[in-house]
């Protein structure tokens, strides 16, 4: 698992909940950090915040999908932006799931578990 969020509290909340479920978790502070780590980590699933400095979640997801080595990785977008056009944009990019903040950690774990099982 690679957990990407610029908010340390949310990043740690997601990481701890996934670790408690038995997932091996690495964190990244933004999209650029994610792209720097993804080849070494080789995650089955990435949770990706949308609104981040340096490189936002949308651009990061596009770059992951454009790269032959990372396009297979399952991506869960996590954001406070729940407008229909945001969800449509995620679908166009090829995002696998969309979770809106505030989120239920159990729902997020179920989503990640389902995607990891299919990865």
User: Following DSSP, what letter does each residue of 18-66 receive, concatenated?
Assistant: HHHTT---EEESSHHHHHHHHHHH--SEEEEESS-SSS-HHHHHHHHHH
- Cα(31)–Cα(67) distance, rounded to whole angstroms? 14
pLDDT tens per residue across span 12-38: 999 999 999 999 999 999 999 999 999
Helix (H) or strand (E) holding 10: helix 8-20
- Distance separating alpha carbons of residues 18 and 64, to the nearest angstrom: 22
Q: What domains does the chain contain, in order, with CATH numbers?
A: 2-114 (3.40.50.2300)
Query: Is the full-model pTM beyond 0.85?
Result: yes
Q: pLDDT per residue over 72-85, tens digit each?
A: 999 999 888 767 88
């Amino acid at each position: 698992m690679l957990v990407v969020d610029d908010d340390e509290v949310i990043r740690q909340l997601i990481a701890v909940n996934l670790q408690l479920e038995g997932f091996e978790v690495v964190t990244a502070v933004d999209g650029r950090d994610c792209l720097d780590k993804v080849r070494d980590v080789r995650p089955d699933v990435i949770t990706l915040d949308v609104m981040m400095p340096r490189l936002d979640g949308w651009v990061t997801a596009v770059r992951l999908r454009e790269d032959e080595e990372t396009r297979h990785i399952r991506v869960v977008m996590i954001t406070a932006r729940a407008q229909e056009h945001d969800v449509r944009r995620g679908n166009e990019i090829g995002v696998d799931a969309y979770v809106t903040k505030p989120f239920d950690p159990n729902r997020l774990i179920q989503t990640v578990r389902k995607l990891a099982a299919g990865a």
